Amino acid sequence: MNTYLDDYRKKLVKAEEAANLVKSNDIIDYGMFATKPVDFDLALSKRVGQIEKVSVRGTGTVPPFPAVIQNDPEQKTFQYFSWYFTLLDRMAGDKGMACHLPFNYHEATLLAYHHRDLHHIKPTVWCAQVTPMDRNGCFNFGLGNSHNRGIALWADKVIVEVNENMPRCLGGNDEYIHISEVDYIIEGTNSPIFATPKMPEASEAERKIAEFIVPHVENGSCLQLGIGTLPNLIGEMIAHTDVRDLGIQSEMFCDAMVTLYEAGKVTNAMKSFDINKSSFSFCLGTKETYDFIHDNPRLASCKVHHTNNPDFIAQNDKVISINNIVEVDLLSQVCSETSGFRQISGTGGQLDFVIGAFHSRGGKSFLAFSSTYKDKKDGQVKSRIKPLLTPGSVVTVPRSMVHYLVTEYGIVNMKARSVWGRAESLVSIAHPDFREDLIKSAQENGIWSRTNRIPF
């Protein structure tokens, strides 16, 4: 039997040797989320000044801070790009050291598999953290399936950085790369895999928002949840209801889903495909969540086109999608990723699930947000519902796609509402201190009628 050990030894290199393969004008793709390489990144950063015009792409950058940014603040050699901004990406972006790549998340796999004519984005080198090789010669992508395999197979050089701490996430699909598809292997220093701290206590506003959403979860609902205190609160609240046979199809597997499993709420028995398994494409959570997903046959790690394709999402009945937003205007245009021109996160899979959930029979998408926020610059409380989006803010979800909007003051269904009806509905869930100003603005712009008889 071929144990692949000879191939493994032939391809084994030091991180410094792998970094020396990079040439000027190369495009480097790092693994997604917690599969970002650590040893290779550090070794590559030491080549500042030796080469030039090297582009490095990441997705949802998590600690440690990328060395190619930290060790090259003047960007003499490296420029960093991110498909989805996290706190680290924002920190770099605020200093002009990182740039966002806008796209709908489900299309990431399509770029790698079906649009290879896009030569300007073709990767020269791909490198990601993976699990140790199994007896079949496969390295598992662990916490970041996403579009790793597609990008790897598109790249000219394929490098894996083995980390014994990486959880093995069973497929699904596209969850591995075989040694025959790998050019070089780095045995990493087995650095700790980034895990999130336990979420803080939910605010009173978040509790009220959750109370509006949870009653919409029925027996057999299929859930998509994101990261943050609100999704975890919703998971805890659902765990104390009498609903059963929940399914999960989500781009991200989060802590709240472990809570639902432990409460016996998740069976995936009512799903249309991936029956009896929770489908996800990446995981960010606590160490306890990582322990839960490791080698767990009840879960299915899948490429993001599988989890996020709106057509696939819609095949399941009663899809419930819950996501956060940054702001919304009185036309019901939703911004979830920027604050003016400042990039906060990314489109990610929000639009994918907004569309997919509504197209699902009995499905609902909820865009949730606290009605106000405190401006860090002037300390004033401001409304997230605005007459118009902040100049420079992008439209993440067009008004025609928005389904439910939820604040601590209420929940409104925006589908098929008139322009007047949208403005009136948004005013009704705004903080009371801002309602009169919003009404005045709506009247001035001809998008509101003080009749109180608007049926839709």
Question: What phi, psi does 238 have (nearest 5°)?
Answer: -65, -35
Instruction: Please state whether the predicted TM-score (pTM) of the whole model is above 0.85.
Output: yes
Tokens of 80: 């960093």
**Rounded Cα gap, residues 265 and 352, in angstroms:** 25
The predicted structure's pLDDT at residue 226: 79
Q: What is the token pair recorded at 344?
A: 């906060």
Q: Which residue type does 175 have?
A: E
Q: How many angstroms separate the first and last alpha carbons of the chain? A: 69
Which pLDDT belongs to residue 198?
86
Q: What angle do CA 160, 162, 164 make, to 5 degrees?
A: 160
Q: Which domains does the chain have, with CATH numbers?
A: 5-187 (3.40.1080.10), 204-444 (3.40.1080.20)
Q: Which residues contact 320 (CB under 8 A, 6 or more apart)?
A: 216, 217, 221, 222, 223, 224, 357, 363, 364, 365, 366
Q: Could you give the CA distance from residue 372 to residue 375 in angstroms, rounded to a whole number?
A: 9
**Residue range 91-149, pLDDT digits in tens:** 999 999 999 999 999 998 888 888 777 778 899 999 999 999 999 999 999 999 999 99
- Please state, as a whole number, how many other Cβ atoms lie within 10 Å of the Cβ of residue 201: 9
What span, in angstroms and rounded, lies between the C-alpha atoms of 271 and 453?
41
Measured distance CA(205)–CA(390) in Å, rounded: 23
pLDDT of residue 109: 85
Q: What are the residue ranges in the chain where pLDDT is below 50? A: 1
CA 258, 264, 270, 276: dihedral to nearest 10 degrees? 60
Q: What is the pLDDT of residue 453?
A: 60
Q: What are the two backbone dihedrals, phi and then psi, of residue 334, each rounded to the nearest 5 degrees?
A: -105, 130
Distance in angstroms (rounded) separating the CA atoms of residues 394 and 355: 18
Strand partners, 386: 329
Catalytic residue among 251, 327, 408, 424: 251
251 is catalytic: yes
